Structure 1
Amino acid sequence: MKTEPLRCSMNIQWSEEDQAYIVTVPELSGCKTHEKTYIEAVKQGQDAIESWIEANKAWGRPIPAPRITMTAENAYHIRSTRG
């Protein structure tokens, strides 16, 4: 079941040790994932956010308000040399 997307930030960093992109979501405690390519990390991060929200709703836990709202005025593109 898809939930309404929560607009929150994802931190994506390359880990030499893990040889993967590590994704964390600051607004959602414990929400993290990883993937081998940057694009897959973004997709997996979005899936992790949806899963986190669904699980926390099922457990009756509050869902925090997003700290960042992306609009055309504050959106930007990121260039990656990996993946």
Structure 2
Amino acid sequence: MLNYSMVIQWSKKDSCFVVTLPEWGELCQTYGDTYEEALSNAKEVLQLMVNSSIEEGSSLPEADIFRGQLQKV
């Protein structure tokens, strides 16, 4: 699996966790009733996006890489 970003947020309006995959565009999202389900669904969507791009001969988006330094506690 490639290292793409996932943003998981609680949606009060929808009463579920919504996951967006920023590198793939604002419409690339999924959801889950639990955090774990949302993460699992997002991994599945991400794999489908990667596979589809490769099959179509499209280039993959560049992954947004964390450039800071993690502060260990």
Which TM-score band applies after superposition, normalised by the shorter structure?
0.7 to 0.9
Q: Quote the sequence identity (%).
A: 31
Residue by residue over 1:46-83, the C-alpha shift from the partner in whole angstroms, topping out at 9 and shown as x without a partner, is 111101111122222210121126xxx74x9xxxxxxx
Q: 2:13 aligns with which of 2, 6, 17?
A: 17
Q: What letter matches 1:40 in structure 2?
A: E
Alpha-carbon RMSD: 2.1
Structure 1 partner of 2:53: 56
TM-score between the two structures when normalised by the length of structure 2: 0.79
Partner amino acid, structure 2, of 1:60? G
Which consecutive unaligned segments of at least 5 residues does structure 2 have?
none
TM-score, structure 1 normalization:
0.71
> With CA pairs under 8 Å and 6+ residues apart, which has the higher RCO, 1 or 2?
1
- Tell me which protein shows more helix as a share of its residues: 2
Structure 1: unaligned runs, 5 residues or longer: 77-83
**Matches of 2:59 and 2:10 in 1, distance apart?**
31
Number of matched residues? 69
